[in-house]
Amino acid sequence: MLLSLVGTPSPLTYWTLHVLRTVVQVLRAEHSVMHVFRPDDVWACWADITGKTTAPVILFSDCAEGGLCDLLLSLDAPIIVTADDPSDTVSYLVASRNMRTEHALRLFSQCVSSLEILLSASQVFSVGKELYDRAVNDHVREMVRVCGLIAGEEEIAQIMLQLTINPPLRSDALAGREILGFVPDSRLPGSYDVLGEASPLTAVVAEQYGAILRNEPLQKVVWPRQIFPNFDDPDQFLAGPQQMVGRARYLVLGPYFHLPRGEWKVRVEIEVTHNESGNHIRSELVSGDAVVAAIHAPLPKEGVFAFDMTLTVLEPFLPIDVRIYMLYGAIEGTFLLRGVRFDRAPARPSGTEAALPTPKLRLQSLSAP
């Protein structure tokens, strides 16, 4: 017997794993839990576990690689997908792991980009924030059903008894109360207060990915300047214009965020002022360790400009970064990354081999100098 639980690294996921383990413990006793991220993680311990016992196996992942999602779908076994709302997930990561908001957003983009592979599949049962307001008893019965198990009233009562030790669970107890008691640093939906000044940034970035969790098409993603690390000050992020004065170097390097599978048109917008001596830039689009597109262009003296590249994402787990390198040292000038926008191309019919457009090898002026 195989069960899979995949979700965001957030309270709903960890408490649902607790419920799932308790259900299996009461109804089937012996079982194994495998915390996995990639297909190789499964194969590394699968033979060892299944060679010793035929007890149920729970595959659990709070940040699944796309390849793992493909594997789970191919096994044709029940898959439970859990996801707190975007802002709540990011807030929980900040509170529970002491992460910077920008780093929590990066991890969130990685987890959610792979979940898109699962959410429309027929064997997937989705659990969202509505669970907080549901009775634990109802959720337990639902987990029993989803797992294909059978439980009588005495067994349901035993599951409820084992979910908490002190006090025993009442039959009408709400899941939200139990989640808060079981998962440290958790809060009810919308009740986190840990982001402070970073709250607008979370709303801008994370909520875009929320379309995936609602099982809606994600057609556009905008990465604002504020999530890109500052190459000249690695502990900070880009807050405004950068001085070009100094050696040849990276002006932009990051942000190592993630996107769902698909073909994407990438537009990078920049602004330059007082570049009187002239310069050149090389920009690369990198997926994992591979450079997938690049341009080389002279940098004008002044104005707002953009350039386009294309990207095909096959594995959402791989980070994506945009690199802009100033090829020569400078004695004046400022450079501003205005933002990076990704637009998803329509899916091509299976077997279509049409090539994507090649990158434009010049800057396009978006305003008069």
Task: Record the tokens describing residue 44, joined without a space.
Answer: 């590394």
Q: Identity (one letter) of the amino acid at 262?
A: G
Query: Is residue 83 within 8 Å of residue 125, measured between CB atoms?
Result: no
E strand or H helix that includes residue 94: helix 86-97
pLDDT digits (tens, 9 = 90+) for 203-243: 999 999 999 999 998 999 999 999 999 999 989 999 999 99
Q: Are strands 290-299 and 279-287 parallel, antiparallel or unpaired?
A: antiparallel
Residue ranges with strand state E in 275-355:
279-287, 290-299, 303-313, 320-326, 334-344
How far is it, in rounded angstroms, from Cα 210 to Cα 212?
Answer: 5
Neighbours of 242 (CB within 10 A): 20
How far is it, in rounded angstroms, from Cα 83 to Cα 348?
Answer: 29
Concatenated DSSP letters for 143-187? HHHHTT----HHHHHHHHHHH-SSSPPPTT-BHHHHHHHHSTT--
Domains for the chain: give ranges and CATH numbers.
2-182 (3.40.50.300), 219-365 (2.60.120.260)
How far is it, in rounded angstroms, from Cα 210 to Cα 339?
Answer: 20
Give the global pTM. Answer: 0.92
How far is it, in rounded angstroms, from Cα 16 to Cα 140?
Answer: 9
Radius of gyration over every alpha carbon of the chain, rounded to an integer in angstroms: 24
Residue 197, judged by CB atoms within 10 A of its CB (0-12, 13-18, 19+), counts as exposed
Query: Of 9, 66, 5, which Cα lies nearest the Cα of 31?
Result: 5
SS3 105: helix
Task: Record the tokens describing residue 173, joined without a space.
Answer: 């107890």
Return the HEC string of 180-220: HHHCCCCCCCCCCCCCHHHHHHHHHHHHHHHHHHCCCCCCE
In order along its 369 residues, the chain shows pLDDT tens digits of 889 999 999 999 999 999 999 999 999 888 888 999 999 988 877 666 655 566 788 999 999 999 999 999 998 889 999 999 999 999 999 999 999 999 999 999 999 999 999 998 989 999 999 999 999 999 999 999 999 999 999 999 999 999 876 677 777 889 999 999 999 999 999 999 999 999 999 999 999 999 999 999 899 999 999 999 999 998 999 999 999 999 999 999 999 999 999 999 999 999 999 999 999 999 999 999 999 999 999 999 999 999 999 999 999 999 999 999 999 999 999 999 999 999 999 876 655 444 434 444 457 777 644
Q: Identity (one letter) of the amino acid at 226?
A: Q
Q: Identity (one letter) of the amino acid at 343?
A: D
How far is it, in rounded angstroms, from Cα 110 to Cα 104?
Answer: 10
SS3 273: strand
Please report where in the chains the tokens 């940034």 appear, as a residue.
201
Query: Is residue 205 within 8 Å of residue 36, measured between CB atoms?
Result: no
E strand or H helix that includes residue 137: helix 136-146
Query: Is residue 304 within 8 Å of residue 233, measured between CB atoms?
Result: no
